[in-house]
Amino acid sequence: MVTFLMLGSLSVSAQLDEVGKILTGGTADANKLVTAYLEPWGKGFAYGLSNGWYNTANTHGILGFDVTLTTSMASVPTADKTYDLATLGLTTLTYGTPSTGPTIAGKKNDGPELTFTQKVTLPDNSQQDASVKFKMPKGINVPIVPTFALQAGVGLPKGTEILGRYMPTIKMGDFGKLGMWGIGIKHDLKQWIPVVNKTPFWSMSLLIAYSSFKTSASGEFLTPDPNQFYTSGLNMDVYKNQKVELTASALNTSLLLSTNIPIFNVYVGLGLVSPSSKLKISGSFPVPDAPKAVDVQNSVDNNEPIKMGVKNIIDPINATIASKAAFKATVGFRLKLALLTIHGDYSTMDKYNLYSAGIGISFR
């Protein structure tokens, strides 16, 4: 299961360096393009983090405990496998046809080509257009977003249970790092309802849980292309410490119901998930700028095409990819054999289908 998560994260981390190349066309439209391209994985990670927190509504007795290993998959809907540049409200970049392209979860096809154009003043004070072109990144053709949780729960007084999950930061070779943590609380509600609290064979509780995940990649992702930019006088060493970081989190508030009988039980969860996914691109990055007069003069003298100049900007992108709260419904089963538990469930949330399965030990 750890390998499964790492393979999925390797895929997205390997693609993060391609995201940096969107800055070839400047920063004005970059946030819109980054959000459109990464949205399904930003949502998928955040939605997946809300999974795996429970496999019963029953709470532990005092000092009862469980340790559970759960893996989850968020299935990206067809509509989120592509984007359309015509709907993004771009202000400085132009494009041709087709205007659609694959998101990170889409097919391994080239994205559409975009062009940034600006006026350059020539030595005779006339003006000429200079432009740079770049293509949006390909998809990775992986329409599922995996997450993983190693979780423990401990019973406290008054039908309360404290939950925690953790995965230490793992370095993935040259691709970057990933890590995850979370904390939650589950409380027995049935005990407070007169008459109902006397009925057997079922449980009802409230869960509030928060999870956070981060994956990042570091390196030299974007340097100015000498075929499109004047690079005279540039210090290329400043581009060696570029970093792209994708973070996701989810706050999950759910009402839980389950049967409470030996061996086999069914559970459901109904609640609201508040997700958050952000992409941060930090370090020094080159973006288009007016060229130096001496470079333009040299091009005119040598009858060469006029190119763009370059300016360096620090920490150019801090984009929110997913932030809209959504209703979530879950149904699952739990098999308990002595101390061993096995569970599986299905959830639906914001047109994403979520699947979880896990195994653990539980002593109540």
First-to-last C-alpha distance (Å) of the chain: 26
Contact between residue 24 and residue 222 where contact means Cβ atoms under 8 Å apart: yes
**The pLDDT value given to residue 17:** 67
Cα gap 9→17, rounded to integer Å: 13
- List, for residues 338-351, the tens digit of each pLDDT value: 999 999 999 999 99
Mean pLDDT of 157-186: 86
Contact between residue 47 and residue 273 where contact means Cβ atoms under 8 Å apart: yes
pLDDT-derived band at 224 (thresholds 50, 70, 90) equals very high
pLDDT-derived band at 287 (thresholds 50, 70, 90) equals very high
pLDDT-derived band at 171 (thresholds 50, 70, 90) equals confident
Average pLDDT value over all residues in the chain: 92
**The pLDDT value given to residue 199:** 96
Does the pLDDT of residue 129 top 90, yes or no? Answer: yes
Does the pLDDT of residue 10 top 70, yes or no? Answer: no
Cα gap 83→117, rounded to integer Å: 23
**The pLDDT value given to residue 4:** 39
* Amino acid identity at 286: P
Residue 43 belongs to what H/E stretch?
helix 30-49
Strand ranges inside the chain, DSSP E: 65-75, 82-84, 93-95, 100-102, 113-121, 127-135, 144-156, 160-171, 177-188, 202-219, 242-259, 264-282, 284-289, 309-314, 317-322, 326-337, 340-349, 352-363
**The pLDDT value given to residue 168:** 81
Mean pLDDT of 187-203: 97
pTM score:
0.89
pLDDT-derived band at 364 (thresholds 50, 70, 90) equals confident
Q: What is the DSSP code (8-state) at residue 21?
A: G
3-state secondary structure of 108: coil
Mean pLDDT of 196-206: 97
Mean pLDDT of 13-38: 86
**The pLDDT value given to residue 6:** 43
Nearest to 341 by CA among 114, 193, 152, 187: 152
Mean pLDDT of 11-16: 58
Nearest to 213 by CA among 275, 281, 142: 275
Half-sphere exposure (CA, 13 Å, Cβ side) for 185? 7
Does the pLDDT of residue 298 top 80, yes or no? Answer: yes
- List, for residues 303-338, the tens digit of each pLDDT value: 999 999 999 999 999 999 988 999 999 999 999 999
3-state secondary structure of 106: coil
Given its phi and psi angles, is residue 201 left (phi above 0), alpha (psi -120 to 50 degrees) or beta?
A: left
Q: Give percent of the chain with pLDDT exceeding 90.
A: 82
Does the pLDDT of residue 51 top 50, yes or no? Answer: yes
Mean pLDDT of 233-258: 94
**The pLDDT value given to residue 3:** 38
Does the pLDDT of residue 61 top 90, yes or no? Answer: yes
Which of the pair, 8 or 185, is modelled with greater confidence? 185
**The pLDDT value given to residue 175:** 56
Does the pLDDT of residue 161 top 80, yes or no? Answer: yes
What's phi and psi for 58, nearest 5 deg? Answer: -65, 145
Cα gap 38→20, rounded to integer Å: 12
Does the pLDDT of residue 177 top 60, yes or no? Answer: yes
Does the pLDDT of residue 85 top 90, yes or no? Answer: yes
Contact between residue 352 and residue 144 where contact means Cβ atoms under 8 Å apart: no
Burial of 200 (0-12, 13-18, 19+ CB in 10 A): exposed
**Could you tell me which residues come within 8 angstroms of residue 87 by beta carbon, excluding any fewer than 6 positions away?**
none
**The pLDDT value given to residue 20:** 86
* Amino acid identity at 341: T
3-state secondary structure of 14: helix
**DSSP H stretches of helix in 265-344:** 293-301
**Could you tell me which residues come within 8 angstroms of residue 206 by beta carbon, excluding any fewer than 6 positions away?**
186, 187, 189, 253, 254, 255, 256
State both tokens at 13: 């981390």
Q: Which residue has the tokens 């047109």?
A: 351
